Chain A
Amino acid sequence: MSALATAPAIVPLAAAALVTAVRSRPRLQQALAMAASVALLGCALALLAQVAAGETVVVAFGGWPSPMAIEFVVDRTAAALVLITALMGVAAVLFLASDADVGDRHPLLLPLLFGVLAGAGGAFVTGDLFNLYVWFEVMLICALGLLAIGARVDQLDASFKYLALNLLGTLLLLFAVAAVYGVTGHLNFTALAGAAPAVAPGLWLAVLTLLMVAFLVKAGAFPVYAWLPASYHTLPAPVLALIAGLLTKVGIYALLRTLGDVFSPAPAVLYEVLGWVAAATMLFGVLGAAYHWDMRRILAFHIISQVGYILLGIALASVAGYAATLFYTLHHIVVKANLFLIAAIIWRLTGSYDLRRIGGLYVTRPWMTLLLLIPALSLVGIPPLSGFWAKLLLLQEAIGQGRVVWTVVALVVSVLTLYSMMKIWMEAFWKRHPDAEWQPPADTQLAPAWAVTVGLAGVTVWISLYPQALLVYVQAAAATLGGR
């Protein structure tokens, strides 16, 4: 049934309208939001079940013939990303029910959150370049609203930086989309794939470069990542986890979809440049993290460094590379969101995000150590955790293609990532709390927060212990890319 393919965008949009309508009743709003995010998860699972059988679900809006219609095309790649988006939605909404750094509840917080989900979902399933730009905009505007909604001075400062740098990316993207349309006369992905070989090579390289730079800004890649650590740390924790998990990944997905699928094979020089950009992104991201003491800033810089790894998979321009990219993206969204959420619980228990002012959790909350170590060591890539499998897939292909420098950079960055994660562990857990009188607060309301973080850690453990299922899936997904 094709109607299901509209769900990734329509369900969150309808949810946004509904939770706006009940905005004066916070409890009802929370309950509706929970129901809607679970419904979205259900749709995503049903979609996954359909495409896993090898079927590509297509819907052309309004029944117009292709390539005139705006199409939603759900293949394996899109379905997996939609599922992880829906999962993050459930996690964020559930976490909002706790009291771990959720901020003052603004009545429009949940509508904007569903707006971000709609933007991401729409971007993952659309089969049309201009429509992709529109969903990017939906996501940008809603994320900006979430940043500005608290109206604190630091949040407005963050919103401005986010807006300024992302508008640059958006403008570039719009120019690029217009240029693509100008030289091919198409916007539909399938039609574009057919028209691309007829364009003069020099012109085509210029157009694709513009497109690549625009997506790199959105993905937070070197050297245009400044907007990310400048803005993320001012958000309430569950919103931060959602945005940190999803926003940059939509940029990455767009790169994978264009360079890896629709316009594949693109001129070789683009992949070469992308590879060096990826290496620089890994390195500069992790170095930025080493300097900071605020957990949220450390984790935000690690997003950038991990984006580098994921981009490397696209730069390798092979089925194995794309499979590694997809595996890495799915594992990383779960791990990264979980780390931000655990940091919020640490904030609730110890009273600060600043590692210099906290400590003593190992004595009072010993089992929480394990909870932190699962995503933290997975981010580093310690076997047998999910990050290890992701890096193994990626580096195997990099070595196979003789990319020694990129491989070495990736391994060095892993060690530096370990340093950052150990810094969080040593400071927040191992060391004594600087205030000798400190006791964790007794009146916390953390049950939903524990449920979410343990659940996400469970997903990570599942990928770690049983990577074969996901591996087979992503390889099947990657094999269909570029086959238009």
Chain B
Amino acid sequence: MNSRIVILAVVARPLYLVILLASLWVLLRGHNEPGGGFIGGLMAVSATILWGVAHGTTAARARLPLGDAVWPAVIGLLLAAISGVPGLLDGEAYLTHRAWTLAFVSVELKLSTVLLFDIGVYLAVWGALAGYALALLAVDEQEQEGGPA
């Protein structure tokens, strides 16, 4: 795409960061309030699509974790699968979750296997759907450049 929109290209940089931060906020908020890995992952995908439209799909792909769409999907799936194992080790059902509260001087840090599961979902959704979206955008780019590249 030669005819990139300058305003979009300039705005995309701060927006990309804001959307990703918001998606992380939604991911973490999902612990006790509406939100979570799936919806957070979808927001991250929208950030990737924005970058793909503004700067091209190759650049957008390079900005994904580990520089490719498949890796976050794989790691996410494995993380989500592993998060169910601790419950299993204690002789309970798969995906029975564990939670711990770590107390620092004045801050309480809540950790749990649910969070691990949610991060897994987040990465899997981001990787898989961003992969699809970028592949579709790439088809568009080829057509605009006149035939398959």
List A residues at the B interface (Cβ < 8 Å): 2-3, 6, 10, 13-14, 16-18, 20-21, 23, 59-63
Contacts A20-B70, A23-B70, A63-B87 known; A6 to B77 CB distance under 8 Å?
A: no
Contacts A17-B74, A20-B70, A21-B74 known; A60 to B93 CB distance under 8 Å?
A: yes
Q: How far is the CA of A3 from the CA of B89 in the complex (A)?
A: 10
Instruction: Fill in one digit per residue for B128-143: 1 if any A CB lies within 8 Å of its CB, else 0.
Output: 0000000000000000
Chain A residues with CB under 8 Å of B97's CB are: 62
Which residue from B71, B73, B81, B93 sits with its C-beta under 8 Å from A2?
B93
Using CB atoms, name the residue of chain B closest to A60. B93
Q: How far is the CA of A3 from the CA of B94 in the complex (A)?
A: 6
Instruction: Fill in one digit per residue for B74-88: 1 if any A CB lies within 8 Å of its CB, else 0.
Output: 100110010010011
Contacts A10-B81, A13-B81, A14-B81 known; A20 to B93 CB distance under 8 Å?
A: no
Scoring A3, A13, A23, A60 by chain B CB atoms within 10 A of each residue's CB, the highest score goes to A3
What are 17 of the A-B contact pairs (CB < 8 Å)? A2-B93, A3-B88, A6-B94, A13-B77, A16-B77, A17-B77, A17-B78, A17-B81, A18-B78, A20-B74, A21-B71, A21-B74, A61-B84, A61-B94, A63-B92, A63-B93, A63-B96
Chain A residues with CB under 8 Å of B88's CB are: 3
16 additional contacts, CB 8 Å, given A61-B95, A63-B93?
A2-B93, A2-B94, A3-B93, A6-B94, A10-B84, A10-B94, A14-B78, A14-B81, A20-B70, A20-B74, A21-B78, A23-B70, A61-B84, A62-B95, A62-B97, A63-B87
Q: How far is the CA of A190 from the CA of B146 in the complex (A)?
A: 58
Chain A residues with CB under 8 Å of B87's CB are: 62-63
Task: Determine how close the nearest CB of chain B comes to the CB of A25; give it in whole angstroms.
Answer: 14
Task: Determine how close the nearest CB of chain A comes to the CB of B106; give it in whole angstroms.
Answer: 33
A62 near B96 with CB under 8 A, answer: yes
Nearest first, the 9 closest Cβ-Cβ pairs linking A and B are A63-B96, A17-B77, A6-B94, A62-B95, A61-B95, A20-B74, A63-B93, A17-B78, A17-B74
A20 near B73 with CB under 8 A, answer: yes
Instruction: Fill in one digit per residue for B95-133: 1 if any A CB lies within 8 Å of its CB, else 0.
Output: 111000000000000000000000000000000000000
Q: How far is the CA of A448 from the CA of B88 in the complex (A)?
A: 37
Chain A residues with CB under 8 Å of B94's CB are: 2-3, 6, 10, 59, 61
Task: Determine how close the nearest CB of chain B comes to the CB of A326; give it in whole angstroms.
Answer: 27
Q: How far is the CA of A411 from the CA of B24 in the complex (A)?
A: 63
Q: Which of B25-81 contact A (CB under 8 A)?
A: 70-71, 73-74, 77-78, 81
Chain A residues with CB under 8 Å of B77's CB are: 13-14, 16-17
Q: How far is the CA of A10 from the CA of B82 in the complex (A)?
A: 10
Using CB atoms, name the residue of chain A closest to B114. A62
Using CB atoms, name the residue of chain A closest to B70. A20
List B residues at the A interface (Cβ < 8 Å): 70-71, 73-74, 77-78, 81, 84, 87-88, 92-97
Which residue from A13, A18, A61 sits with its C-beta under 8 Å from B93?
A61
Q: How far is the CA of A2 from the CA of B88 in the complex (A)?
A: 9
Using CB atoms, name the residue of chain A closest to B76. A17
Q: How far is the CA of A63 from the CA of B96 in the complex (A)?
A: 6
Using CB atoms, name the residue of chain A closest to B81. A14
Using CB atoms, name the residue of chain A closest to B73. A20
Using CB atoms, name the residue of chain A closest to B88. A3
Using CB atoms, name the residue of chain B closest to A22. B74
Task: Determine how close the nearest CB of chain B comes to the CB of A63; give it in whole angstroms.
Answer: 4
Q: How far is the CA of A224 from the CA of B6 in the complex (A)?
A: 52
Chain B residues with CB under 8 Å of A23's CB are: 70
Task: Determine how close the nearest CB of chain A comes to the CB of B78; give it in whole angstroms.
Answer: 5
Q: How far is the CA of A23 from the CA of B71 in the complex (A)?
A: 11
Task: Determine how close the nearest CB of chain A comes to the CB of B61; give it in whole angstroms.
Answer: 16
Q: How far is the CA of A14 from the CA of B95 in the complex (A)?
A: 15
Task: Determine how close the nearest CB of chain B comes to the CB of A475; give it in whole angstroms.
Answer: 31
Using CB atoms, name the residue of chain A closest to B71. A21
Q: How far is the CA of A6 from the CA of B84 in the complex (A)?
A: 11
Chain A residues with CB under 8 Å of B78's CB are: 14, 17-18, 21
Chain B residues with CB under 8 Å of A59's CB are: 93-94
Q: How far is the CA of A20 from the CA of B77 in the complex (A)?
A: 11
Chain B residues with CB under 8 Å of A16's CB are: 77
Task: Determine how close the nearest CB of chain A comes to the CB of B100; give it in whole angstroms.
Answer: 17
Task: Determine how close the nearest CB of chain A comes to the CB of B76; give it in whole angstroms.
Answer: 9
Task: Determine how close the nearest CB of chain B comes to the CB of A158; give it in whole angstroms.
Answer: 20
Chain A residues with CB under 8 Å of B81's CB are: 10, 13-14, 17
Chain A residues with CB under 8 Å of B95's CB are: 61-62
Scoring B74, B87, B93, B96 by chain A CB atoms within 10 A of each residue's CB, the highest score goes to B93
Q: How far is the CA of A431 from the CA of B13 in the complex (A)?
A: 70
Q: How far is the CA of A6 from the CA of B96 in the complex (A)?
A: 13
Task: Determine how close the nearest CB of chain B comes to the CB of A23; give it in whole angstroms.
Answer: 7
Chain B residues with CB under 8 Å of A13's CB are: 77, 81
Task: Determine how close the nearest CB of chain B comes to the CB of A253; give it in whole angstroms.
Answer: 23
Task: Determine how close the nearest CB of chain B comes to the CB of A265; give it in whole angstroms.
Answer: 32
Using CB atoms, name the residue of chain B closest to A1. B91
Using CB atoms, name the residue of chain B closest to A63. B96
Using CB atoms, name the residue of chain B closest to A14. B81
Q: How far is the CA of A62 from the CA of B117 in the complex (A)?
A: 12
Q: How far is the CA of A371 from the CA of B55 in the complex (A)?
A: 58
Using CB atoms, name the residue of chain B closest to A58. B93
Q: How far is the CA of A61 from the CA of B74 in the complex (A)?
A: 22
Q: How far is the CA of A23 from the CA of B78 in the complex (A)?
A: 15
Chain B residues with CB under 8 Å of A21's CB are: 71, 74, 78
Q: How far is the CA of A61 from the CA of B87 in the complex (A)?
A: 10
Chain B residues with CB under 8 Å of A17's CB are: 74, 77-78, 81
Using CB atoms, name the residue of chain A closest to B89. A3
Q: How far is the CA of A355 from the CA of B12 in the complex (A)?
A: 59
Task: Determine how close the nearest CB of chain A comes to the CB of B136; give it in whole angstroms.
Answer: 13
